[in-house]
Chains A and B, each alone.
Chain A
């Protein structure tokens, strides 16, 4: 089976499991909604302040939501004892990871599509003119998060205190994504509505480098 087809099979399986239970999407949606509210209570920002803090807030909310969600990605396989079956399947180990990466990306992207308008309303910052570009920036960053997060989820699934470990591993590595993403979002929300090419290439470069590294190292990650 080709890489793409086997990855698509894994992706379809992940989506089917999620559509049946709605565990991830329910938790993550509630989490982001809660963050959106709590930040507003904590800072009660004025219109100009919220324009300044909103980019950072959006990215932090999605980062934490991502780490919350990625935890389950391999743990779920473990509790159901299905990881061995996946390993035994005659497919490229990268296909397993890629399928899971795409699934995690899909869940997070769905959350972003739902919550960007909600953030915009809560913080009274209009995003209508730039919604397409904003989602592009968010998706580029989210893909990097999904790649590194899925790999680290596979790594930490067998460690002690894995619930605590994953965010500690993931967030430092994501520092470049956070900087680039927040800067790009700030530029979009500022008067000019234009996003600098440096930040887009930083986000795309991050995705490219870590996808390649995952591809090269996938054999070690999926083995027992």
Chain B
């Protein structure tokens, strides 16, 4: 990971260009979907953002286990970085979902299985960040947020099945089909390209967030050291 600063800046620009290209292909290259019409074009970034969000939460789960196993602060930094980036991606899912739903279902919000799941997951990880914010002691915070991170991720499959069974009588989610559902190859290519670009964005965002957390730790360490130094100095003055 010892790439220079310029290399990372280049990476950001490359991702920005890739995302612009993805946008172009979504609007002009992908064919029009037959039943839903153009609105289906939201699918390309809605679904790929969703997959990336769950991937982030999975990484956060692994990092939480890593922290409990090793007690290395960097696992804790990784856990919070992936959780926060995942939350940003999930927010995009929750906003693009209703924009898609409005023309197709006629209402902004439907308690459809997948939308409901995205909502529950959003709540879970907001709770995770709140827990971190409200725990004061750093080691203790890392420990309990790792435990909560594990509990939250274990809850995701349970929530998935409960919302699926809950909404069985309702029509299935209007996703234009997975990769094996006879999707037009052009659609599949646009989707894969968009997803890869978003994945690269996700990695860059996680890296930045991780650096932030590492820097915070560094500043805290220096502050603690300084305070200690000042205390010693004051102590001397008093004894003199």
A interface residues, Cβ below 8 angstroms from B: 148, 151-152, 155-156, 158-162, 165, 168-169, 171-173, 175-176, 179-180, 183, 198-199, 202, 205-206, 209-210, 213, 217, 220-221, 223
Contact = CB atoms under 8 A, between A and B. Distances in A.
A213 B124 contact: no
A220 to B, nearest CB: 6
A155 B130 contact: no
Nearest to A144: B158
A161 B168 CA distance: 40
* Residues of B contacting A: mostly: helix
Interface stretch (B27-35, B40-48, B143-151, B229-237): B143-151
Interface stretch (B12-20, B159-167, B218-226): B159-167
B151 A210 contact: yes
B123 A172 contact: yes
B interface residue count range (under 10 / 10 to 19 / 20 to 34 / 35 or more):
20 to 34
A173 B151 contact: yes
A159 B134 contact: yes
Interface in B136-155: 136-137, 140, 143-144, 146-148, 150-152, 154-155
B150 A217 contact: yes
Nearest to B123: A172
A165 B134 CA distance: 8
Q: 5 tightest CB-CB pairs across the interface, nearest first?
A: A172-B123, A176-B162, A176-B158, A155-B144, A179-B162
Interface of B: 68, 120, 123-124, 127, 130-131, 134-137, 140, 143-144, 146-148, 150-152, 154-155, 158-159, 161-163, 165-166
Contact of A220 (B68, B165, B166): B68
Given A158-B140, A160-B134, A165-B131, A209 B162 contact: no
Contact of B127 (A169, A198, A206, A210): A169
15 contacts: A151-B147, A155-B148, A156-B134, A158-B137, A159-B136, A160-B136, A162-B134, A172-B120, A173-B127, A175-B155, A179-B163, A210-B151, A213-B154, A220-B146, A221-B147
Contacts of B137: 158
Nearest to A218: B147
Nearest to B121: A172
A162 B140 CA distance: 15
Contacts of B123: 171-172, 175
Given A155-B148, A159-B136, A161-B134, A176 B155 contact: yes
B147 A180 contact: no
A169 B150 CA distance: 13
Given A155-B148, A159-B134, A202 B120 contact: no
A183 B136 contact: no
A172 B143 CA distance: 20
Contacts of A158: 135-137, 140
Contact of B130 (A165, A180, A217): A165
Contacts of B130: 165, 168-169
Contacts of A210: 151, 154
